[in-house]
Amino acid sequence: MSNRKRSALFTLLCLCILIPTTLILGSRLKGRWYYLTSTLIVVEAMIPFFYAFEIRKPKAGELVTVAVLAALAAVSRGAFAFLPHFKPVVGIIMIVGIAFGGEVGFLTGAIAAFASNFFFGQGPFTPWQMMSYGMGGFLAGAVFHRSWEKWEKKKLFPVALGSFGFLSVLLLVGPLLDICSLFTMSSTLSWDFAIACLSSGFFVNLTHSLSTLLTLLLLGKPLLAKLKRLQSKYGIWER
């Protein structure tokens, strides 16, 4: 079997067997099992991405490039010390996803979140953060990876990138993190608490999505050009 088929089969196995089993088992148990169940599902949803990366046996240069970009995303806040609350992390992860494809984008996001938590402290939110940052990169790759070179010349390309980033952080990346606090802090699940959690995170998410918009608007084109050069000159993550 080719690597591609193996990873597709594995993904299917995870989605169709592992996750439903966890859900059924989790709903049968009493107590505060929902945090555990939800976190397990988040972890299980990440496994196929990691597995695909492992069996692909990446070249040394590709491995180092992903490491460099993940580290860059993790430390990027340092460049904006004078602008509190400005977080360019997800923007950079999205650019990686667009240039190298959704899977690499996911990996960069997940590793960046995990590694930066070694410095800021791991917590019950770690898998959720990995998932949400990874999803940011994956989504950007899924939407733009195939066609960005065609659209690149258009004048509105950075604006399109920015607005995509804005919406996906506001609607997906941010709320995923809020859902984690819902599971860790509430004693019983209720819609009221969920709405309170999501709305209390709204302004944080708004500033987060604004900074993603600005990052993609200003850094999108230059960074994409640099990554494209790596691709064409050194054959790193070629399609």
Q: Give the residues lining the site for other proteins (CB under 8 A).
A: 30-33, 35-36, 50, 53-54, 57-68, 70-72, 74-76, 78-80, 82-83, 86, 88, 107, 111-112, 114-116, 118-119, 121-124, 184-188, 190, 192-193, 196, 214-215, 218-219, 222-223, 226, 230, 234, 236
Kindly state the smallest distance separating residue 102's Cβ from other proteins, in Å: 17
Judged by beta carbon, residue 63 or residue 171, the one nearer other proteins is 63
In contact, 100 and 63? CB cutoff 8 Å: no
Angle at 103 between CA 17 and CA 47, to 5 degrees: 30
Angle at 85 between CA 82 and CA 90, to 5 degrees: 110
CA quadruple 194, 199, 200, 201: dihedral, nearest 10? 100
Angle at 37 between CA 125 and CA 55, to 5 degrees: 75
Kindly state the smallest distance separating residue 180's Cβ from other proteins, in Å: 12
Kindly state the smallest distance separating residue 161's Cβ from other proteins, in Å: 14
Helix (H), strand (E) at residue 19: helix 19-28
Kindly state the smallest distance separating residue 81's Cβ from other proteins, in Å: 8
Kindly state the smallest distance separating residue 178's Cβ from other proteins, in Å: 14
Judged by beta carbon, residue 122 or residue 147, the one nearer other proteins is 122
Token pair of 56 as six digits: 């692909």
Within 13 Å, how many C-alpha atoms sit on residue 206's CB side? 6
Judged by beta carbon, residue 20 or residue 123, the one nearer other proteins is 123
Give the C-alpha distances (Å, rounded to integers) separating 134 from 83, 90, 108, 194, 234: 25, 9, 7, 23, 25
Judged by beta carbon, residue 7 or residue 215, the one nearer other proteins is 215
Kindly state the smallest distance separating residue 141's Cβ from other proteins, in Å: 18
133 vs 142: CA distance, rounded Å: 14
Judged by beta carbon, residue 104 or residue 169, the one nearer other proteins is 104
What is the distance, to the nearest Å, from the Cα of residue 83 to the centroid of all Cα atoms in its chain?
23
Look at residue 86 and give its three-state secondary structure.
coil
Judged by beta carbon, residue 59 or residue 146, the one nearer other proteins is 59
